[in-house]
Amino acid sequence: MARMSGKVAVITGGANGLGKASALRFTEEDAKGIVIADMLEDAGLETVSMIEDAGGKAIFVNLDAVNRVNNQEMVEAAVTEFGSIDVLVTAAGITHQDYLSGDREAEVKMAIKRAQEIENPAQQFVDGSLEEWQKVIDVNLTGTYFALQAAASAMIEQGKGGSIITLASIAAKHPDAGPTPYVVSKAGVWMLTKKAARELAPENIRVNAIGPGFIETHMTTIFEIAPPERVEETLKSVPMGRRGLPIEIANTALFLASDESSYMTGEILHPDGGYFTD
């Protein structure tokens, strides 16, 4: 039997990157249905088409991760369209206030700002704005909380458990892996994952995190625009010496979504090329 047979998955941030790769991998393993929930409709509909071309079933739902009602609606859509929700992957996320997945220009601007900030880390720390802090914490942490609440509520009602997978990061444990609001939001996602795992275990709902290293998605466009010596310097922290591929995270998500990880909850897995070996 395929590893996702009979399972319905809801994937936030499923229009691009790691969420999209997970959706396509779940489809290969015969997922019963997939809800792609994202703020980017065109990209989300494209993911839906790719799933259908691969023989799967999917729908797109508009989601602003910070909107609690949107999160409830995306779960309701799964139940209405496919009969249940068995798996949730929370891949919606941003690195900074102006992050728009696929907007290369915004990343070029950010790369210039970062290069200046690196010159004076203490100053950039004290100058950090409330808007920046709030937006990143809202989308990455509060958005994840809302998605977990909505999915867990439906899973409890169904009474057959489920698997929830959050996207944390190496930044959950290492302060060098991103700007201040980002690393703090990911540390929060990791604690939220552990807390949810404990509270939801009696309902047979497993909650685990993935803490990827640097992976080739829009989120790491900076690797393509930063000076080669900066990229080389960053990759020194990765013993395998390269960015990971989205499929390498999707395979981790598949393991956590499937019954192969049936005795695992409150865990974080780090597909990171060896980042945490030091």
Could you list the active site residues? 182
Minimum CB distance to ligand NAD, residue 109 (Å): 16
Give the number of residues in contact with ligand NAD, rule: CB under 6 A: 28
The answer to whether 8 contacts ligand NAD (rule: CB under 6 A) is no
x/- mask, ligand NAD, residues 99-128, rule CB under 6 A, reads --x---------------------------
Q: State the nearest-atom distance from the C-beta of 146 to ligand NAD, in Å.
A: 10
Binding letters toward ligand NAD, positions 172-191, x by CB under 6 A: --------------------
User: Binders of ligand NAD among 37-76, rule CB under 6 A?
Assistant: 38-40, 63-66
Phi, psi of 208 (to 5 degrees): -130, 160
Q: Is residue 16 within the footprint of ligand NAD (CB under 6 A)?
A: yes
Tell me the closest approach of the beta carbon of residue 134 to ligand NAD, in angstroms. 13
Q: Binding to ligand NAD by residue 92, rule CB under 6 A?
A: yes
Contact residues: ligand NAD, CB under 6 A: 13, 15-19, 38-40, 63-66, 91-94, 101, 139, 167, 169, 212, 214-215, 217-220
